[in-house]
Structure 1
Amino acid sequence: MTSKPLALTIGEPAGIGPDIAIAAWVRRQELALPPFYLIGDGAFLAARAKILGVKLALANAHPADAVALFADALPVVDGGHAITAQPGQPDDSSAPAAIASIRQAVADVVAGHASAVVTNPIAKSVLFRAGFIHPGHTEFLAELSAAGGPVPLPVMMLWSPELAVVPVTIHLPLRDAITHLTSDLIARTARIVAADLRARFGIAKPRLAISGLNPHAGEDGSLGTEDQAIIAPAIATLRNEGIDVRGPLPADTMFHAAARKSYDCAICMYHDQALIPIKTIAFEDGVNVTLGLPFIRTSPDHGTAFDIAGTGKANPASLIAALRLAARMAQAKPA
């Protein structure tokens, strides 16, 4: 187990992030969870626990104290913002608290106080109304990691024990995703995936499967030219660099059980091409991982679920998987 705790953000306070954080801590001994602390408002968390009917011991903490406190109380590092949002009802306190929590988590990891960042779900619409300019967590984390220098290319991986996928283009309308797709972007993405599979997952020779864009990977150009003109050159470049890569492969035959055994990560051309298979296979316990950053970041693979916040119905399985994977990545020895 890592000697440093994990830094867990509050996420959208009106969503299920606080609920699943509390639920995970309650099961800490049963599941042998790695120590973590939550960045937020202790009074708010105490009130949410009361709504949930959970007896919760809280401890105001500094990250350095979190490991020692974790067995007996949920360590809470003050996020600097009082939270007044009620379950399912974001208010003016939601966005400042969510953003400050992310900033603090990154700062703690960069300073060496925590081993990794684990983020609870945010509500983008709430953040956008407050002036947030980033498409989502991934891009914001990339900017924070740059510290005024060049912003790295962040790569979103969805991971489960059965399947890991990466979309080359992420939160774009499908029409725009196709126009943004380039050989260079595919190659840059694949290099980051291969490097982090070696460094963060301990896989000595990562095997990458790259999907086609069109049905049947273009059927030799009869169903579209992008596979031959854009994807194939990227694959040739990667092979010349010594990366184990196959493709472009027809996406409709990449994700059955036998196919999944032949690669460590599937690199797909757009959001739904990657996320539909993993959310079908691992809906409850998939993990969102950001690659290409100078620190480790994982997150549950679901949203804020406003409709069940504060009801006790939220399943903490994906957060638990995110905490475990973050700890595993922090301990991994580069291959």
Structure 2
Amino acid sequence: MTSSISNTPMVALTTGEPAGVGPELTLMLASSGKPLPATLVAIGDPGMLAERAERLGLGIEIEVSAPGRMPRDPRPGVLPVWPVALRVPSHPGVLEPANGAYVLETLDVAIAACRDGHADAMVTAPVHKGAIIDGGHIGFTGHTEYLRDACGVDEVVMMLATDAALHGRVAGEPRCALRVALATTHLPLREVADAITATRLERVLRILDGDLRRHFGIDAPHIVVCGLNPHAGEDGHLGREELEIITPTLARLREQGLDLEGPLPADTLFTPRHLEGADAVLAMYHDQGLPVLKYAGFGSGANITLGLPIVRTSVDHGTALDLAGKGIADPGSLRVAVALAAEMARRGG
């Protein structure tokens, strides 16, 4: 039995790479005393979480629970946990590839809980791709792709948003309020151009438009699209992807009712003149759009996977192995991710 989405959504939080900051950020969130708009349950190793709480001097009680069983009345200082056992002991800052299977199992538990109706949304703390791959999971390229395959969908879209952009466009909101979606995600740069096809662009833009309506309550999203090449191809002199793929695809989708602008040069798109009135930007590749967004709001944003049959958000940062176990990591992005997941679940997860 889950909570009523219209009241307090149940959010399943995977604690991420155990050697990173995910476990302690989860504990900090539970111990902060600040109210959350969700009933929060963590997924991880209860013993490891208890040890980290003690190490950091956090008076947290770990309440072992299970999907389908509602935690006792939520109260400060108590963290309900759906248990998954570490494969080998974990220490802050020290990667153990054998725990790659543990990390993936926490994701599997969260996905199943959302699909079975035991959770209304899932939030993920950061994982370490290299450790998971070194642990024998060769095909792992990231949360986004793993969730796509686990949920059996053809295409998903990674979108990051700063805190100021999470609740819809309002008059006077800061210029740094951004939503940036990606046409491609974790690809080597030399493979990006070949991945920009008309079919992919159409799928991505339809998902982006549809989920901005569904999850953010935007009736007619205005999406600004980056070109792939410098100067958006300079009329074909710096690349022909804009002329042959991107521009015709945008024109066809405009005829079908999508509100699209572009393709525009990425070096001038992220300026107030072009961002004014934009509900989202679509960048062609990972490092075209995300550095700008993270400069504008690092630590106060969230990562959202669009196109899934479930709600999933995450933090806007990595495992921060150098900060792990020291109690100095900032849980701000995790708090934003939980709040956003709860809001998305209420809107129509």
State the TM-score, normalized to the length of structure 2: 0.90
Q: C-alpha displacement at 1:7, in angstroms?
A: 0.4
Aligned partners of 1:94, 1:70: CA distance in 2, in Å? 31
What letter matches 1:271 in structure 2? H
Q: C-alpha displacement at 1:93, in angstroms?
A: 4.8
Could you list the per-position Cα deviations for residues 89-138 of structure 1 after superposition, in whole angstroms to 9, with x for gaps in the alignment?
12255212211100000000111111101011001111001222221111
| 1:127 equivalent in structure 2 | 132
| 1:154 equivalent in structure 2 | 156
- Bigger shift: residues 1-10 or 262-271: 1-10
Aligned partners of 2:63, 2:114: CA distance in 1, in Å? 20
What letter matches 2:56 in structure 1? L
Structure 2 residue 26 is matched with structure 1 residue 11: no
Could you list the per-position Cα deviations for residues 50-97 of structure 1 after superposition, in whole angstroms to 9, with x for gaps in the alignment?
111211122112343237235451111112446511001122552122
Q: C-alpha displacement at 1:30, in angstroms?
A: 2.3
- Bigger shift: residues 180-189 or 251-260: 251-260
Q: C-alpha displacement at 1:260, in angstroms?
A: 2.0
Aligned partners of 2:237, 2:87: CA distance in 1, in Å? 59
Structural mapping, 1:82-231, within 5 Å: 84-91=89-96, 93-132=98-137, 133-146=139-152, 151-160=153-162, 161=165, 162-231=177-246
| 2:310 equivalent in structure 1 | 295
Could you list the per-position Cα deviations for residues 165-219 of structure 1 after superposition, in whole angstroms to 9, with x for gaps in the alignment?
1111111121211122112211110001011111111111111111111222122
SS at match of 1:69: coil
| 2:81 equivalent in structure 1 | 76
Count of matched residue positions in the alignment of Structure 1 and Structure 2: 329
What do you get for the CA RMSD once the two structures are aligned? 1.7
Cα 1:297–1:333 change in 2 (3 A) is closer
1:169·1:180 contact (CA, 8 Å) conserved in 2?
A: yes
Q: C-alpha displacement at 1:164, in angstroms?
A: 0.5
Aligned partners of 2:264, 2:201: CA distance in 1, in Å? 14
- What percent of counterpart residues are identical? 40
Q: C-alpha displacement at 1:282, in angstroms?
A: 0.9
2:129·2:142 contact (CA, 8 Å) conserved in 1?
A: yes
Aligned partners of 1:195, 1:70: CA distance in 2, in Å? 37
| 1:286 equivalent in structure 2 | 301
Which stretches in structure 2 are left out of the alignment for 5+ residues? Answer: 1-5, 166-176
| 1:236 equivalent in structure 2 | 251
Cα 1:109–1:179 change in 2 (3 A) is same
Cα 1:333–1:109 change in 2 (3 A) is closer
Cα 1:95–1:2 change in 2 (3 A) is farther
Q: C-alpha displacement at 1:257, in angstroms?
A: 3.1
Cα 1:2–1:16 change in 2 (3 A) is farther
What letter matches 1:223 in structure 2? L
| 2:58 equivalent in structure 1 | 54
SS at match of 1:58: strand
Cα 1:37–1:322 change in 2 (3 A) is same
What letter matches 2:145 in structure 1? E
2:9·2:345 contact (CA, 8 Å) conserved in 1?
A: no
| 2:29 equivalent in structure 1 | 24
Cα 1:91–1:2 change in 2 (3 A) is farther
State the TM-score, normalized to the length of structure 1: 0.93
Which stretches in structure 1 are left out of the alignment for 5+ residues? Answer: none
Aligned partners of 2:231, 2:87: CA distance in 1, in Å? 53
1:35·1:67 contact (CA, 8 Å) conserved in 2?
A: no
- Bigger shift: residues 82-91 or 127-136: 82-91
1:80·1:100 contact (CA, 8 Å) conserved in 2?
A: no
Q: C-alpha displacement at 1:258, in angstroms?
A: 4.0
| 1:332 equivalent in structure 2 | 347
1:60·1:77 contact (CA, 8 Å) conserved in 2?
A: yes
| 2:70 equivalent in structure 1 | 65
Structure 2 residue 291 is matched with structure 1 residue 276: yes
Aligned partners of 2:273, 2:88: CA distance in 1, in Å? 48
Aligned partners of 1:175, 1:91: CA distance in 2, in Å? 31
Aligned partners of 2:35, 2:16: CA distance in 1, in Å? 23
What letter matches 1:4 in structure 2? P
Aligned partners of 1:255, 1:104: CA distance in 2, in Å? 38
Cα 1:276–1:72 change in 2 (3 A) is closer
SS at match of 1:314: coil
Aligned partners of 1:45, 1:83: CA distance in 2, in Å? 14
